[in-house]
Amino acid sequence: MKIDTHQHFWRYNDRDYSWMGPNMESLKKDRLPADLAPLLSESGIDGTIAVQARQCIDETRFLLELANHNSFIKAVVGWVDLCSPKLEMQLEQFCYHPALRAVRHVIHDEPDDRFMMRTDFLHGISRLSKYNLAYELLLFPRHLPIACELVRLFPDQTFILDHIAKPLIKDAKMQPWAGDIRRLATFPNVSCKISGMVTEANWSGFEPEDFTPYLDTVLEAFGPERLMIGSDWPVCTLAAEYGQVMNIAADYIEKLSPGQQQAIWADNAIRIYQILI
């Protein structure tokens, strides 16, 4: 079995997707399950995890509704307002749905680099275990030390790092990212998605070898038992096609044992997200 652990859907409008800059014109159209399904079939992918792309409650409803009608969506990473005094009410709306397995906040767009350490945000994180929800860390490299502070406070909370924290692949810069990744990986409740790499590389041309030092680092730090593969479709199409993106990770892990490859492709996701297959 193979699971793409990170992809997005949307019905495009200017208001909700302001993060799509002028160099992202190709993304500014609807991207729905019917668009992704043939790509999954071509690449031999059996299921996906749909991840929020808007910071509003309607986004979570939208993704759960898509999961109701598309069996290949195995889990949803939604959004709730973790800083709101009405957080519990928001979580109660969705806790009935078996597909909601995690939430995330777009930390890397917050003006305050220490947003994760706000008292109201920390309180929000503290409520997730009641609903058996993981939290996804969407960060830039500079946020990694702060993420270590956060994770240290919640040893029983499952955390998942998106996009290997977006290292500066285009500039071939490894530090301090690599050291901070290793530090974050010392916390056993943190896993990592091999995703979002191509959009941190040179969009006009890259080689698979450009990613090897970064892949070596996360494999060494997290081990095969805490890594997963995600496409970041359709954002990835700014730099590469779906199959090309998935093959970067697939070719890299071929050196591992069949059991380790299966763990990275699906078993880890099933365990970490508690997916019902």
Rg (CA), the chain: 17
d(CA 265, CA 233): 16
Angle, nearest 10°, between helix axes 212-222 and 177-185? Answer: 20
Tell me if 237 sits within 8 A of 201, measured CB to CB.
Answer: no
Angle, nearest 10°, between helix axes 242-253 and 33-43? Answer: 40
Model confidence at 276: pLDDT above 90: no
CA distances (Å), origin 186, targets 151, 190, 212, 218: 10, 8, 21, 12
The separation between the first and the last C-alpha atoms of the chain, rounded to the nearest angstrom, is 11
Q: DSSP letters of 12-64?
A: --TTTTTTS-GGGGGG-S-B-HHHHHHHHHHHT--EEEEE--SSSHHHHHHHH
Query: Which CATH number goes with the domain that contains 16?
Result: 3.20.20.140
158 band by pLDDT with thresholds 50, 70 and 90: very high
Average pLDDT over residues 89-101: 95
Average pLDDT over residues 197-209: 94
Q: Is the pTM higher than 0.95? A: yes
If one counts the domains in the chain, the total is: 1
pLDDT of residue 111: 95
Q: Please tell me what DSSP assigns to residue 101.
A: E
* 3-state SS assignment for residue 228: strand
Q: Please tell me what DSSP assigns to residue 233.
A: B
185 band by pLDDT with thresholds 50, 70 and 90: very high
d(CA 10, CA 63): 9
Model confidence at 204: pLDDT above 90: no
Model confidence at 1: pLDDT above 80: yes
Model confidence at 272: pLDDT above 80: yes
Nearest to 272 by CA among 86, 77, 107: 77
Average pLDDT over residues 230-237: 98
pLDDT of residue 166: 98
Model confidence at 277: pLDDT above 80: no
Q: Record the tokens describing residue 26, joined without a space.
A: 């190709």
d(CA 33, CA 31): 7
Model confidence at 271: pLDDT above 80: yes
Average pLDDT over residues 3-31: 95
Nearest to 201 by CA among 241, 236, 251: 236
Model confidence at 184: pLDDT above 80: yes
pLDDT of residue 143: 98
Residue 223, Ramachandran bin (φ over 0: left; ψ between -120 and 50: alpha; else beta): left
Tens of pLDDT, residue by residue over 34-61, are 999 999 999 999 999 999 999 999 999 9
Arithmetic mean of pLDDT over the chain: 97
Model confidence at 133: pLDDT above 80: yes
**Residue range(s) defining the domain that contains residue 153:** 3-273
Q: Please tell me what DSSP assigns to residue 191.
A: E
Tell me if 192 sits within 8 A of 185, measured CB to CB.
Answer: yes
pLDDT of residue 2: 98
d(CA 227, CA 163): 11
Tell me if 190 sits within 8 A of 159, measured CB to CB.
Answer: yes
